[in-house]
Amino acid sequence: MNAIEVEGLGKSYGSFTMSEMSFSVPRGYITGLIGPNGAGKSTLIKTIMGMVVPDKGEVSVFGRSVGPQEGDYKQDIGYISDENIFYDYLTLEQMKRIVAPFYPRWDEELYRRYMDQFELPSRKKIKDCSKGMKMKYSIALAMSHHPSLLIMDEPTAGLDPVFRRELLDLLAEYILEEEHTILFSTHLTTDLDRVADYVTFINRGRLVFSDTKDDILESYLIVKGGKDLLDGDIRNELLGIRESDLGFEGLSSDRKRAQQLFGDKALYEQPTLEDIMYFTAKGGKPRA
Ligand SMILES: Nc1ncnc2c1ncn2[C@@H]1O[C@H](COP(=O)(O)OP(=O)(O)OP(=O)(O)O)[C@@H](O)[C@H]1O
């Protein structure tokens, strides 16, 4: 069973439209959600959390349909928002006392362990915590009720490189448990290079791809060559073509086809996830 199923999701906000969004988050793996600013990542995550009501389509979590009336499924989710969702004037301890009773599987000992490990001061007011401390606190709260699904909106934003690595290690440890699943959005494709099994890429409210990281990296290819190679048909084969006096470079979403088309007249380079995001955001076309 998939942990999350998103089917034909649509949502409009003024000039922003998310349309025909369908993909799944497989159970037992880490899925990274990437996309440029304003692509719709937070909107998508909030829809999964039942905080945004879609105009169209359906979301289910562990087979249960998500909607404003359905709250039970959240017991299984550890949610980390990119916004401050806590009461600023409370201390970390006071806020925890409000959150913990909502979760029957709340584990006070585990919570204390995370507070120690993250060096968080229980008696400090939330408003006096740094951005990174608030993020660590969110993580401690989310992990302490033994969720089987972690949904995180840019958890590494605002973290120093040392704790960022620690967090990624923590996620890698969490996922060792067979039934655990993680969906997290990020701008940092290096986070995905380190830990993601699957990558879901959205651009301007549309799904570009959702696949295993290995399959994605295997199918894309950067092609570089002289301008004489660029006729109308060839332009349609590549994403985000950049031209200079020396030649062009562009991204192909079909490695074999590109190699057949260009043969030994072009140079090829293995793209990183960041390259794929960059060229696709420039070119704007989904994978064939
Ligand atoms: N409550 C809202 N009311 C109006 N517009 C909204 C609302 N929430 C989001 N939007 C718009 O929807 C679009 C997608 O926003 P969203 O926050 O989902 O993108 P994102 O991919 O998470 O961006 P970022 O990487 O910058 O955090 C943006 O144009 C944003 O202005």
Render pLDDT for 67-86 as a digit per residue (tens, 0 to 9): 766 667 788 999 998 887 88
pLDDT of 286 > 80? The answer is no
Testing ligand 1's pocket by substitution, the residue of 6, 12, 16 carrying the most ligand atoms inside 8 A of its CB is 16
Residue 101 alpha carbon to ligand 1 centre in Å: 31
**Residue 230 one-letter amino acid:** L
Q: What is the pTM of this model?
A: 0.90
Q: What percentage of the chain reaches a pLDDT higher than 90?
A: 65
**Residue 119 one-letter amino acid:** E
Question: What pLDDT sits at residue 121?
Answer: 95
Q: Which atom of ligand 1 is nearest to the CA of 36?
A: 25
Ligand 1 atom 6: the closest Cα is on which residue? 13
Check: complex ipTM more than 0.85: yes
- C-alpha dihedral sign at 131, 203, 175, 191: negative
Question: What pLDDT sits at residue 77?
Answer: 93
pLDDT, tens only, 9-53: 999 999 999 998 999 999 999 999 999 889 999 999 999 999 999
Ligand 1 atom 27: the closest Cα is on which residue? 37
pLDDT, tens only, 148-177: 999 999 988 878 888 888 888 888 889 998
Q: Which residues line ligand 1 (CB under 6 A)?
A: 13-14, 16, 35, 37-43
Q: Which atom of ligand 1 is nearest to the CA of 202?
A: 21
Residue 152 alpha carbon to ligand 1 centre in Å: 16
DSSP string over 34-71:
E-STTSSHHHHHHHHTTSS--SEEEEEETTEEP-TT--
Question: Which residues lie closer than 8 Å to 278 by C-beta, 6 or more apart?
Answer: 240
Residue 129 alpha carbon to ligand 1 centre in Å: 26
